[in-house]
Structure 1
Amino acid sequence: MFGKSRSKSKANLALSKESVEVGHDAIGEGFVGSRELIFSQSLPIHSRPAGFSAHYLGVVSRFMMQTTSSDRKSPESQLIAKIEEEQLDGKLRLKPLASDAVTLRLDRHGFKITKQDGEDIILRVPLHTLAQLVMYDDGFSKSNLAVKVIVGKDLFSCHVFQCVSDDVAMGICDALQRVFRVIMSESDAAM
């Protein structure tokens, strides 16, 4: 379900439904709410959505991923290359504006992205449509998150966020990992 690799290369973290590895807790600037609200293991996941501050850079709409054996790039590298291509074409921001500040809330139903004031909902990403979450360095020492979403058979969209720090990006990935673990343990218990 989740796989991590720590390096200074483009793909630092890839979360998907195919592999799983245990993460770590990180708290710092960019986290919304208290440590207890976000990371308390004693509260059920339904009553403690995790909240994080980030900047929304935009969306790469409706694309297909290469799955041929001749392309030796990993899915994470392909996704990052697609994002960088869109940025070079001017279709996706490289640097966020102050008005791009958002709050990402994560619970057992998925992501809810709102403006910082919490009034305007920009996007909802149901958990069952989440295909992959990739954390990567954008080349300017900024941590970006790519949220790849299934929109059709072999069709994806990718929402790109810039985090204030590596800790915030890792916190989002860890929170998502915990959500998947809780859901998997609940489904195992129901069997």
Structure 2
Amino acid sequence: MFNKKKPRRSPQPATKDPEDTLMSGGSSTENLAKDDRILHQRVHFKLFYIGCLPEISGLNSKRRDTEAQLIDYVEEKQIEGTLKLTVTEDDKVTINVSRYGFKVLDTTGQEVIQRHPLHTITQLIHYTDGFGKPNIALKTGQVGKALFHIYIFQCHTEDQAQAVCQCVRRIFDAITAKS
């Protein structure tokens, strides 16, 4: 009898499984400029948490690309057994990316496991591990400190890994454009 219109949703990053990525924004973002819309969104990704490599120093060789050094270091730690090689359903987490940073929650979204404020993120890269799985490595640190942490997450697809990195990049770009 009544035709109900479906609510408009913000565009989602490309993923093959719609459950992998959910996007929600503020309630009245239509009138905001593009950068403001990005800064008022919260994007949720369902990933697997592989582990953390705490208090690392170095990896600043002038001869090698920092991304390659980071990936090699993570894979060395997986071979040593410091990090998991495979993930299970128990390792599933929800990542909330916003202008406030990177928040890791349990799968219900009720318990915050980790928070990484945006100003502490020094590097975020995606790579394919030795098993062909798409991963992202989040490097965090403090300005003026030589120590940093690396948090590793496994994504469902390559597209999802790229979407996480692009989301963070768009937020950084929007913040620097406003400065």
Which of these residues, 119, 137, 142, is aligned with residue 133 of structure 2?
142
Q: How does 1:42-191 map to 2 (within 5 A)?
A: 44-69=37-62, 72-151=63-142, 153-187=145-179
Count of residue pairs the alignment pairs up? 159
Q: Which amino acid aligns with 2:168?
A: L
Query: CA 1:85–1:42 in structure 2 vs 1: closer, same or farther (change >3 Å)?
Result: closer
Calculate the TM-score normalised by the size of structure 1.
0.76
1:131–1:149 Cα contact (<8 Å) kept: yes
Once the two structures are superposed, what CA deviation does each residue of 1:103-145 show, in whole Å capped at 9, x if it has no partner? Answer: 1111111000101111111110001000100100002121000
Once the two structures are superposed, what CA deviation does each residue of 1:83-112 show, in whole Å capped at 9, x if it has no partner? Answer: 111111211111112111011111111000
What SS is found at the alignment partner of 1:44? helix
2: CA distance, partners of 1:122 / 1:183: 26
2: CA distance, partners of 1:186 / 1:48: 16
Bigger relative contact order (CA 8 A; separation at least 6): 1
Aligned-residue identity in percent = 35
1:65–1:78 Cα contact (<8 Å) kept: no
Deviation at 1:68, TM superposition (A): 4.1
Pair 1:28-2:28 in alignment: no
Query: CA 1:90–1:186 in structure 2 vs 1: closer, same or farther (change >3 Å)?
Result: same
* Residue ranges of structure 2 left out of the alignment (5+ in a row): 1-12
Moved over 4 A (4+): 40-43
What SS is found at the alignment partner of 1:86? helix
Deviation at 1:46, TM superposition (A): 4.2
Deviation at 1:66, TM superposition (A): 3.1
Computing the radius of gyration from Cα coordinates, the structure with the larger value is: 2
* Residue ranges of structure 1 left out of the alignment (5+ in a row): 1-24
RMSD: 2.3
Deviation at 1:48, TM superposition (A): 1.7
1:59–1:158 Cα contact (<8 Å) kept: yes
2: CA distance, partners of 1:147 / 1:63: 13
